[in-house]
């Protein structure tokens, strides 16, 4: 797996050089409370491998991260009283990624504090959709 880097905040948390409120840990994954929570219970799941974006993560590490989500989100809801929550995962600065080490946000909806996002649906054209699906599956089948 890629080596942790000296200057990455999350690699430093993994190594124990920076403090955090740890929630879960195994060979591939660490989870801890977010230092700037959007809502009470906002926490992060990160792979121990230093990889910048989710599309660069291998199947073992990505599977290990996602495997934690159901149990951890249920525990967060139970501890905070939240009845709903969002899973957020940003890739690239333009997508809102600030820390360049893959991470998944679990953001519970508590006391009116929750993730807010802009979502303006378009309309998928049937022909354009067919072409796009062919293009994506072609690339997918080569990897």
Residues at the interface with ligand 5GP (CB under 6 A): 9, 18, 20, 32-36, 90, 96-99
Tell me which of ligand 5GP, Zn ion, none is bound by residue 101, counting a contact when its beta carbon lies within the kind-specific cut-off of 5 to 8 angstroms.
Zn ion
48 in contact with Zn ion (CB under 5 A): no
Distance from C-alpha of 58 to C-alpha of 49, rounded to nearest angstrom: 10
- In the bound state with ligand 5GP, the residue whose beta carbon lies nearer, of 12 and 75, is 12
User: Which member of 28, 103, 105, 138 is catalytic?
Assistant: 103
Check residue 50 for interaction with Zn ion (CB under 5 A).
Answer: yes
Q: Which does 96 bind (CB under 5 to 8 A by kind): Zn ion, ligand 5GP, none?
A: ligand 5GP
- Tokens describing residue 143: 């990897």
Residue 88: CB minimum distance to ligand 5GP, A: 7
3-state DSSP call for residue 110?
strand
Q: Is 28 a catalytic residue?
A: no
Residues near Zn ion (CB under 5 A) are 8, 10-11, 50, 101
């Amino acid at each position: 797996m890629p080596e942790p880097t000296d200057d990455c905040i999350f690699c430093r948390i993994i190594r124990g050089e920076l403090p955090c409120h740890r929630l879960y840990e195994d060979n591939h994954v660490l989870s801890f409370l977010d230092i700037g929570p959007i809502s009470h219970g906002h926490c992060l799941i990160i792979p121990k491998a230093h990889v910048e974006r989710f599309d660069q993560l291998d199947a073992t590490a990505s599977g290990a991260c996602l495997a934690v989500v159901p149990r951890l989100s249920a525990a967060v809801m139970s501890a905070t009283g939240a009845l709903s929550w969002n899973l957020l995962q940003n890739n690239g600065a333009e997508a809102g990624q600030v820390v360049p080490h893959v991470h998944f946000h679990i953001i519970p909806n508590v006391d009116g504090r929750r993730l807010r996002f802009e979502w303006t649906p378009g309309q998928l054209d049937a022909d354009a959709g067919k072409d796009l699906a062919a293009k994506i599956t072609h690339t997918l089948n080569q990897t």
